């Protein structure tokens, strides 16, 4: 059996999607290229949903290429010709933007002052975002498509079916919008504003519409970027013009997809394949919205977890509304590790491997690497052992996995970095250092002296023995109080690692220096 046959029988959802697409392509006949599209709204700063949509589309695309020889292309389409409806509150130069309300984003100066227009700025941000993850795509600007004439033929087709399109849309509108609705929104010659005005006449022969501006009738061509389509018609026209075969959308767009599908049929096209993925929720089950600032951002995720773990989260159950909040990151990381481990060791048959998320996440080539310890263990270790630098944490890791090393386990080494970041941001702030009592001070000073003598000692038991001796000599009763004092004064927490092991890993001289600093009160005053 060839990989192609396995793909045809595979159950992972990208293959289910790809088979839908394969049927469509076979029905169409010929071998023209297959077009995948993802779209971005004008408010368009990239967010976690953007990542999800492009990643998911890419997985379907890859699954498809296993089944078909037809060439594929992924279009990242920016709706940068849309009129600016309201001024976003997270950008500078609010006053300036207010003056340009209603104009296309590509006709408005960049409030950040770094690009030729607001639209160009957003596009650059989008592209940088996609490039950061190495997505393979072709960027398309709506404005360019309109102005270059790329959409002209499809625009004239919409004009030729003007009444049909209108009749499809009108029943879905409320009474007041019904009165003014037109699929064509002329761009004002005077102001550049995308006008929402009724179309008074349309002329298929001349390729024009007639509308009224400032009490005067204007006639203009629907081609060449002089007229933009209202968005649902726009979407349909774009599917036709670009020959889009596959596009997924969030659940919030279900009714829009339905309507745009009707429109594209009305103008002689076929709506693309695709499905509606569920939205993400926050910890309380509320929808994640940028304005509320709930849920997680891509940056937040990637601060505490790997890109692969985020990809896995996006891969699993795209049709289920999943809660997305901080606590799920470690689990996603460990789930990824578990899948990778399965892939390396148990699931070596091709038909099994195609079902494994890591196959999709890594485009068919998951890394060979082993993860001898889990991320959950690292997170426990980093706070339990106070091992807040890489070397010490690696020392503790080796006590679990003697053969592991940063060189042999670069992935694990990355996790070490995330664990330390977690420690710095969440564990460290909860630490409460205290000053030692006189008795404790004397004992600690003696311990420091002893450790200096040990210098490069590697035997943890030997060091541990001396710690006990010092504790007993200073009459700590129970002896536990001695250890508690060590942790509270040196680490700012009431429990910690076996101190002998810690000293050996951290270095006896270094540990002595740590005690000196604590006795000088450096940690207490650092609060």
Partner RNA sequence: GAGCCCGUAGCUCAGGGGUAGAGCAUUUGACUUUUAAUCAAAGGGUCCCGGGUUCGAUCCCCGGCGGGCUCGCCA
Under rule CB under 7 A, residue 394 binds RNA: no
Residue among 68 and 281 whose Cβ is closer to RNA: 281
Dump the DSSP string for 169-232.
Answer: HGGGS-HHHHHH--SEEEBPTTT-BB------EEETTTTEEEEEETTEEEEEESSTTSEEE-HH
- 3-class SS of residue 284: coil
Under rule CB under 7 A, residue 401 binds RNA: no
| φ and ψ at residue 283, rounded to 5 degrees | -60, -30
Total residues at the site for RNA (CB under 7 A)?
A: 57
Region from 59-67, 143-151, 372-380, 515-523 binding RNA, contact rule CB under 7 A: 372-380
Per-residue tokens: 31: 């071998």
Residues from 487 through 506 that contact RNA (CB under 7 A): 487, 495-499
Minimum CB separation from RNA for residue 34, in Å? 25
Residue among 23 and 319 whose Cβ is closer to RNA: 319
**C-alpha–C-alpha distance, residues 488 and 435, integer Å:** 9
Region from 273-281, 415-423, 438-446, 514-522 binding RNA, contact rule CB under 7 A: 273-281
Under rule CB under 7 A, residue 460 binds RNA: no
Which of 217, 391, 465, 526 binds RNA (CB under 7 A)? It is 465
- What lies within 8 Å, CB to CB, of 295 at 6+ separation is 48, 280, 281, 282, 288, 289, 324, 325
Is residue 244 exposed (0-12), middle (13-18) or buried (19+ Cβ within 10 Å)?
buried
Residue among 70 and 158 whose Cβ is closer to RNA: 158
Under rule CB under 7 A, residue 41 binds RNA: yes
Under rule CB under 7 A, residue 264 binds RNA: no
Residue among 152 and 466 whose Cβ is closer to RNA: 466
Residues from 134 through 173 that contact RNA (CB under 7 A): 173
**C-alpha–C-alpha distance, residues 459 and 465, integer Å:** 10
227-229 and 184-186 beta bridge pairing = antiparallel
Under rule CB under 7 A, residue 247 binds RNA: no
Are the beta carbons of 354 and 15 closer than 8 angstroms?
yes
| φ and ψ at residue 194, rounded to 5 degrees | -80, 105
Which of 132, 153, 251, 473 binds RNA (CB under 7 A)? It is 251
Under rule CB under 7 A, residue 437 binds RNA: no
Residues from 288 through 347 that contact RNA (CB under 7 A): 316-317, 319-323, 328, 331
β-pair partners for 220: 209
Under rule CB under 7 A, residue 213 binds RNA: no
Which of 400, 453, 462, 526 binds RNA (CB under 7 A)? It is 400
Under rule CB under 7 A, residue 179 binds RNA: no
Region from 126-134, 239-247, 373-381, 506-514 binding RNA, contact rule CB under 7 A: 373-381
User: Tell me, what DSSP letter sits at residue 478?
Assistant: S
Region from 48-56, 218-226, 275-283, 421-429 binding RNA, contact rule CB under 7 A: 275-283
- What lies within 8 Å, CB to CB, of 175 at 6+ separation is none
Under rule CB under 7 A, residue 475 binds RNA: no
Residue among 405 and 464 whose Cβ is closer to RNA: 464
**C-alpha–C-alpha distance, residues 229 and 341, integer Å:** 50
- 3-class SS of residue 330: helix
Minimum CB separation from RNA for residue 397, in Å? 11
User: Tell me, what DSSP letter sits at residue 423?
Assistant: I
Which of 148, 189, 204, 380 binds RNA (CB under 7 A)? It is 380
Are the beta carbons of 285 and 312 closer than 8 angstroms?
no
Residue among 70 and 165 whose Cβ is closer to RNA: 165
Are the beta carbons of 119 and 106 closer than 8 angstroms?
yes
Per-residue tokens: 99: 């003056």
Minimum CB separation from RNA for residue 480, in Å? 3
β-pair partners for 76: 38, 139
- What lies within 8 Å, CB to CB, of 463 at 6+ separation is 451, 454, 457, 499, 500, 503, 504, 508
Residue among 178 and 206 whose Cβ is closer to RNA: 178
Region from 18-26, 213-221, 409-417, 458-466 binding RNA, contact rule CB under 7 A: 458-466
Region from 28-36, 119-127, 364-372, 381-389 binding RNA, contact rule CB under 7 A: 381-389
Polymer length in residues for the chain: 527
Under rule CB under 7 A, residue 87 binds RNA: no
- Residues in the site for RNA, rule: CB under 7 A? 41-42, 79, 82, 85, 173-174, 177, 196, 230-232, 234, 251-256, 276, 278-279, 281, 285-287, 316-317, 319-323, 328, 331, 376-377, 380-381, 384-385, 400, 461, 464-465, 468-469, 479-480, 483-484, 487, 495-499
């Amino acid at each position: 059996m060839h990989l192609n046959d396995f793909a045809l029988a595979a159950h992972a959802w990208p293959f289910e999607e790809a088979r839908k697409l394969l049927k469509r392509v076979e029905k169409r006949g010929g071998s023209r290229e297959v077009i995948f599209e993802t779209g971005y709204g004008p408010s368009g700063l990239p967010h976690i949903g953007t990542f999800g949509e492009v990643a998911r589309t890419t997985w379907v695309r890859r699954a498809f290429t296993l089944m078909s020889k037809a060439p594929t292309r992924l279009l990242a389409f920016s709706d940068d010709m849309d009129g600016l409806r309201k001024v976003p509150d997270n950008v500078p130069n609010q006053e300036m933007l207010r003056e340009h309300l209603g104009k296309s984003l590509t006709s408005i100066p960049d409030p950040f002052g770094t690009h030729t227009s607001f639209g160009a700025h957003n596009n650059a941000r989008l592209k940088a975002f996609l490039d950061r993850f190495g997505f393979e795509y072709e960027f398309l600007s709506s404005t360019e498509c309109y102005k270059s004439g790329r959409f002209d033929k499809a625009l004239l087709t919409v004009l030729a079916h003007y009444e049909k399109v209108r009749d499809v849309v009108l029943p879905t509108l409320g009474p007041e919008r019904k009165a003014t609705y037109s699929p064509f929104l002329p761009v004002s010659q005077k102001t550049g504003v995308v006008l929402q005005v009724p179309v008074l006449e349309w002329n298929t022969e001349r390729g024009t519409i007639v509308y009224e501006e400032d009490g005067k009738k204007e006639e203009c061509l629907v081609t060449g970027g002089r007229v933009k389509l209202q968005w649902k018609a726009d979407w349909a026209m774009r599917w036709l013009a670009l020959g889009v075969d596959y596009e997924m959308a969030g659940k919030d767009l279900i009714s829009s997809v339905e309507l745009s599908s009707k429109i594209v049929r009305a103008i002689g096209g076929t709506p693309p394949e695709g499905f509606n993925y569920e939205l993400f929720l926050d910890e309380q089950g509320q929808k994640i919205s940028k304005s509320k600032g709930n849920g997680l951002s891509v940056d937040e995720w990637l601060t505490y977890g790997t890109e692969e773990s985020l990809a896995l989260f996006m891969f699993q159950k795209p049709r289920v509304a999943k809660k997305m909040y901080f606590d799920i990151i470690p689990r996603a990381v460990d789930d990824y590790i578990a899948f990778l481990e399965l892939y390396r060791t148990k699931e070596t048959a091709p038909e099994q491997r195609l079902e494994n998320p890591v196959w999709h996440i890594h485009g068919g080539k998951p890394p060979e690497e082993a993860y001898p310890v889990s991320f959950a263990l690292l997170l426990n270790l980093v706070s339990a052992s106070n091992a807040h630098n890489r070397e010490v944490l690696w020392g503790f890791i080796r006590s679990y996995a003697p053969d592991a090393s940063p060189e042999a386990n670069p992935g694990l080494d990355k996790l070490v970095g995330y664990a330390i970041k977690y420690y710095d941001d969440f564990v460290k702030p909860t630490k409460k250092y205290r000053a030692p009592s006189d008795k404790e001070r004397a004992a600690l000073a003696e311990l420091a002296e002893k450790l200096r003598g040990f210098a490069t000692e590697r035997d943890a038991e030997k060091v541990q023995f001396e710690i006990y001796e010092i504790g007993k000599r200073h009459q700590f009763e129970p002896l536990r109080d001695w250890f508690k004092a060590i942790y509270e004064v040196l680490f700012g927490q009431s429990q910690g690692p076996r101190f002998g092991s810690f000293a050996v890993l951290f270095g006896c001289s270094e540990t002595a220096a740590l005690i000196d600093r604590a006795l000088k009160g450096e940690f207490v005053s650092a609060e």
